[in-house]
Amino acid sequence: DAMVIQNPRYQVTQFGKPVTLSCSQTLNHNVMYWYQQKSSQAPKLLFHYYDKDFNNEADTPDNFQSRRPNTSFCFLDIRSPGLGDAAMYLCATSRRSSSTDTQYFGPGTRLTVL
Amino acid sequence: RKEVEQDPGPFNVPEGATVAFNCTYSNSASQSFFWYRQDCRKEPKLLMSVYSSGNEDGRFTAQLNRASQYISLLIRDSKLSDSATYLCVVNGRDNNDMRFGAGTRLTVKP
């Protein structure tokens, strides 16, 4: 019954070692989002895809990249993780990019950087 | 000034209490407003939407005041299971403008 799936749930990486987080959805939604959430802070939007169109937030560091090879999957690549990148990474989907559409979140991947 | 501001709490209330949270937003052009609930180390889940003058869903009531640019969430007859962080979310014209508050933490005690 899981609709937005994230793997792995917990990821440990070393400082500077590239890491890829995965998100998949069974909802056939057009839009997929990646958020970063640090402890006791609001989720912060990194970027989103509307179908294949990539939209980057202005303040998202170049260290973060994303790929969406098909409707169901979206990946977050962190090229050189720093200690400050340790956070929960949330993937979300919505049917279309409309202010009335609900976003459905995955369970998140908690990233630890050693 | 943050785009969406909430009192971080924590709010510690006994079972059965009524509790209210406020949220202010800075963008007067915002059109859609939501309350999400987030349990510890879990993902946010939609609690309710607030589209016009307010919304009621069982024990939960959300109000919108466009003139003062704030929304509120009222929880009546609090249950232990209501313990969570409540996130205020404000959208702009499109969903990609979704802005989250940092959340208000609620603990309901027996």
Tens of pLDDT, residue by residue over A80-101, are 999 999 999 999 999 887 767 7
The reported pLDDT for the residue numbered B55 is 85
B95 pLDDT band, cuts 50/70/90, is low
d(CA A66, CA B60): 37
- The chain A residue lying nearest B42, using CA atoms, is A107
Work out the minimum CA distance from B62 to partner chain A, whole angstroms. Answer: 16
Ramachandran area for residue A80 (φ above 0: left; ψ -120 to 50: alpha; else beta): beta
CA distances, B60 to each of B19, B52, B93 (Å): 10, 16, 26
The alpha-carbon gap from B48 to the nearest alpha carbon of chain A, in Å, equals 10
Is the predicted pLDDT of residue B104 greater than 90, yes or no?
yes
Whether the pLDDT of residue A22 is over 90: the answer is: yes
pLDDT computed for residue A89 by the predictor = 97
Whether A90 contacts chain B with CB within 8 A: yes
- pLDDT band for position B57 (50/70/90)? very high
Neighbouring C-beta atoms of residue B100, cutoff 10 Å: 23
